Structures are given as C-alpha cells and as structure tokens.
Amino acid sequence: MVRINLLPPEIIEKRIFEKRFAWVLLAGAVTFAVIAVVWVFLQWQVSQKNNELQQNLATYQQVQAQAEAFKVFELKESELAAVRATADKALAARVDWARITNEISLILPPEAWLTAMEADEESGLSMIGHILDSPTDIPDAGHKAVAKLLFRLADLELVENVWLISSVKSVETESEAHLLDFEVSTGLKKPAAPVTTSSVPAPPAQSTQ
C-alpha cells in the first residue's frame, strides 16, 4: 500500500521544528533541575561548614577565656617564685646564730664558762670567760685548757679565723686559784646563696581550626 503525503513542505518542517523544540525544552528543564539540585547541595555544604566554623570559633573563645583566667595564676606563680628567690637569697646570706651558739655550748669544755660574748655578722664573735687550769700542767705556763678550747672552736663549720686575744692567770686568791682569764675572737662563714630557677609552667599551646 502506497502512502502519499499531500501536506506542503512548510507544514512538515514546522511539525519537525515543534518536535525538536519540545525536546530542547525538556533537555533545558532537566539541566535546570540538575543545576538546582547541585546548587541546593552546595548551599547545604556551605551551611554545614559555617556551622562548624561558628562552633570552632565558640570553642576558641572559651579556650581563650580560660587561658586569660589562668594567666592570673601564672602571674601569682611568678610573683611567688620571685619572693621565694629573694627569701632564699636573704636566708642564705644570714648568719645562723642559733646554730652557732648551740654548737659553742656543746664544744665548750665543762671546766670553762663565758662571762661575755659579742656577736656581729661582719666582725664575728668575741668571747670572754674563765677556764680552770689544771695545777698538774708541766710546764704550768702552757695554758692547755685554753688551747683545747681553740681547737674545738676551729672545728666548727660556721666559724673561721680563731684568734686568741689573751690568756692570763687570774689573781691568786682562795676563790680564783688555778683560773685562766681568756679572750677569743673568731670570724664567721656565710653560706653561698643557692642558685634558684623559675618553676612557672609554660601555658598550654592553643590551636585554632
């Protein structure tokens, strides 16, 4: 069976154009829909990143606030370390009078006693006293009891430069028989100031995202 198309060519071309235009519109609509979906997805990602950024900024501000609060303790620790260093230096340079007098009382022979003692950080110690002189010393002018006291003083850790100023026999009376009047001076050792270092901990490292 033979089909004969009696439509003019213009009408046929118009119908073909209409069909092509419909396909073009459909392709454009699909493309627009794809672009719209992609745009929405990208906007959602940007929103998520903005939310993360805001959370990170809030966390950073909290950490920064905590760090500022800890700076107060850091300053207090620095001040405490400075005060401790000053106190250590002052205490190290001072003379331990309690220790010195206690040690002198321990090494002082039982036959000796002090009648006067002057103490000064710069000039040292000056002691005046009496000591029993053994009548059996030969020769009697040896003053061995005073010499024993000098040796004991020289062995003290905080005492140096022990000097005998004088050692004479007391007036021969019934109450003062066999007594020696002595005067001794010594220098004082001052311990060296300890080397102090700061113990302030370094602030924690802060990281930003």
| pLDDT tens track for 64-111 | 888 777 777 776 777 888 888 877 776 666 778 888 889 988 988 888
Residue 183 has pLDDT above 90, yes or no: yes
Instruction: Report pLDDT for 23.
Output: 82
Instruction: Report pLDDT for 191.
Output: 62
| pLDDT tens track for 122-134 | 888 899 998 887 6
Task: Please give the residue that has the higher pLDDT: either 140 or 84.
Answer: 84
Cα Rg of the chain (Å, integer): 52
Residue 158 has pLDDT above 50, yes or no: yes
Give the percent of the chain with pLDDT over 90: 8
> Other C-beta atoms within 10 Å of 123: how many?
12
> Other C-beta atoms within 10 Å of 175: how many?
7
Instruction: Report pLDDT for 92.
Output: 67
- Average pLDDT on 170-187 reads 74
Mapped onto helix, strand or coil, the DSSP state of residue 175 is coil
Residue 2 has pLDDT above 60, yes or no: no
Task: Please give the residue that has the higher pLDDT: either 27 or 140.
Answer: 27
Q: Which residues contact 153 (CB under 8 A, 6 or more apart)?
A: 104, 107, 159, 162, 184, 186
* DSSP H or E segment with residue 34: helix 9-93
DSSP assignment, residue 183?
E
